[in-house]
Amino acid sequence: MIRFRLKELIAEKEFQESRRITLEEISKATGIHRTTLSKVSNQKGYNTTTEVLDKLCEFFNVELGGLAEHIKEEIEGDSNEN
């Protein structure tokens, strides 16, 4: 599963700039609808477009790997123990 690090990036930017960053501000700066930002931030397994990813990378000045990470999911019943 891909996990987006949007909350962490917001927190880092808030710390660096010593101010609060809202989804509304990100929405205005990137043109990404606030609802989409909320889903990226809060919905496990949310599927978004490369355009959204590109805009978020630009806003936070990070590479794609800084915005998202791959989390290996354990498959129920899949055990390597014999």
pLDDT of residue 9: 97
What integer is the mean pLDDT of 11-26? 97
pLDDT of residue 78: 55
pLDDT digits (tens, 9 = 90+) for 30-73: 999 999 999 999 998 899 999 999 999 999 999 999 999 988 87
CATH 1.10.10.10 describes domain 2-70? no
Domain boundaries defined on the chain: 2-70
Amino acid, single-letter form, for residue 51:
E
pLDDT of residue 42: 93
Residues 6+ apart with CB under 8 A from 48: 4, 36, 39, 40
pLDDT of residue 61: 96
pTM of the model: 0.83
